[in-house]
Amino acid sequence: MSFVEKALNRLKQQEREMAPLGEYRAAPGEAGGPADGAGGEGLEAGADAVPGREPGIPRRGHKLVAVDRARLREEGFLAPEKYQRQMADEYRRIKRPLISNAFGIGVPRIEDGNVILVTSALAGEGKTHTCLNLALSLSTERDRTILLVDGDVPKPHISRLFGVADQPGLLDVLGENPPKLDDLLIRTDIPRLSILPAGQWRNDATELLSSERMRALCRELSTRYPDRIVLFDSSPLLAATEAQAIAALAGQVVVVIAENITSRDHVASALSLLDEHKPINAILNKSRQVSGGYHYGGYGYGYGADTDAEQESDAR
Ligand SMILES: Nc1ncnc2c1ncn2[C@@H]1O[C@H](COP(=O)(O)OP(=O)(O)OP(=O)(O)O)[C@@H](O)[C@H]1O
Ligand SMILES: [Mg+2]
């Protein structure tokens, strides 16, 4: 059974009609929106919290951001402490096939497999939540470095969560008179994790993300340090065009599906926009209610990540 069939079979029949998608752009005051006061805090120029230099991590003297875990938790992007262990375990399962594909561990190496896009069919399914937690989980891998790229340029939520929404980033490096990429990478106080913010919004964002310069940028990001994983957060596939542009360049795609919320039709339409030859990991998110809240994390399945139960049911 293909990953797509599995993804669709795991979703319960939805009665919900295809909702109108509307414009995908952060409203003022909305997370990722232009004016809710955040941005820039915690950023120090020239600080050096990471001792020495690891390959793939921007050099000393680069900007450094302190990750505000309390704020992330308060905003619902990190699990409450009682769910932390469960969350860590789930992300271990989710990241393993991604790492194997990226570096050819036990499976053939996937071309550009270290460039990973996190996307979804619709807004609000948990892309940013997944991307952030995946980045944190990947950053615990001793022999990898992680570059988290805010590719959701219409709603730069990752940039805001890290307090770097006012910093130049992806769109600036793709525009005219681009600054040097190296100057835009921001180190975090989490070892091995750095960020490329979304940068200044512009109306030709999709064209920039589809440009030859973007292709060259992805190639540079993925090849310069062979141990680096480049993880893109993105906009929803059905509500905006940017994610599809990045999907064309990523070697692997993670599709976050809000179980019981997103209809099968929406999921099928979103998956049809992706290259079926690329490994696509579907993650069911918000899958069970626990004590009135969401079950933290999702569970990865699909390409190389079948659970025993799924294998048994396939065999039946
Ligand atoms: N597994 C989860 N457990 C708890 N809360 C979650 C989970 N996944 C997502 N959320 C919450 O759901 C909301 C939407 O998640 P998130 O912002 O990650 O979605 P998104 O797909 O990035 O949305 P957008 O399309 O607007 O960028 C957030 O408040 C987030 O904290
Ligand atoms: Mg988001």
Ligand 1 contacts CB of residue 128 (under 6 A): yes
Residue 59: Cβ-neighbour burial (10 angstroms; 0-12, 13-18, 19+): exposed
Q: Is the separation of the CB atoms in 194 and 57 below 8 Å?
A: yes
Q: What pLDDT sits at residue 286?
A: 82
Pocket lining: 160 vs ligand 1, CB cutoff 6 Å: no
**Predicted TM-score of the model (pTM):** 0.82
The answer to whether the CB of 77 is under 6 A from ligand 1 is yes
Whether 286 lines ligand 1, by a CB cut-off of 6 Å, is yes
Split the chain (316 residues) into runs of 10 and give each run's mean pLDDT: 52 36 60 41 40 54 87 93 91 95 96 97 96 97 96 96 96 95 95 97 95 96 93 96 95 94 94 93 76 41 36 40
Give residue 62's pLDDT. 72
192 lines ligand 1 (CB under 6 A): no
Domains of the chain by residue range? 3-10+41-315
Judged by phi (left if over 0) then psi (alpha if -120 to 50, else beta), residue 302 lies in left
Residues with CB under 5 A from ligand 2 (ion): 127-128, 157
pLDDT number for residue 74 = 93
Query: For residue 40, what are the contacts with CB-CB under 8 A and spacing of at least 6?
Result: 163, 164, 165, 166, 167
DSSP designation for 293: E
**CB neighbour list of residue 146: distance below 8 Å, 6 or more residues apart:** 135, 138, 139, 192, 193, 194, 228, 229, 231
Question: Helix, strand or coil for residue 162?
Answer: coil
CATH of 3-10+41-315, one of 3.40.1160.10, 3.30.470.10, 3.30.1390.20, 3.40.50.300: 3.40.50.300
pLDDT (0 to 100) of residue 55: 57
125 C-alpha vs ligand 1 centroid, how far in Å?
Answer: 6
3-state secondary structure of 106: coil
- The helix (H) or strand (E) run that includes residue 144 is none
How far apart CA 246 and CA 9 sit, in angstroms, is: 27
Query: Do the beta carbons of residue 281 and residue 63 sit within 8 Å?
Result: no
Residue environment code for 116-137, b if the CB has 16+ CB neighbours within 10 A, otherwise e:
bbbbbbbbebbbbbbbbbbbbb
Q: How far is CA 154 from the centre of its chain?
A: 15
Which atom of ligand 1 lies at the shortest distance from residue 155's CA? 27
pLDDT at site 59: 59
Give me ligand 1 centre to Cα 104, in Å. Answer: 31
Q: Is the CB of 76 under 6 A from ligand 1?
A: yes
Q: Is the CB of 91 under 6 A from ligand 1?
A: no
Q: Tell me if 296 CB under 6 Å of ligand 1.
A: yes
Q: What is the position in ligand 1's atom list of the atom closest to the CA of 295?
A: 3
Atom of ligand 1 nearest to the CA of 26: 26
Question: Length of the chain in residues, anyone?
Answer: 316
Residue 287: what pLDDT?
Answer: 72
Q: Alpha-carbon distance 123 to 258, whole Å?
A: 10
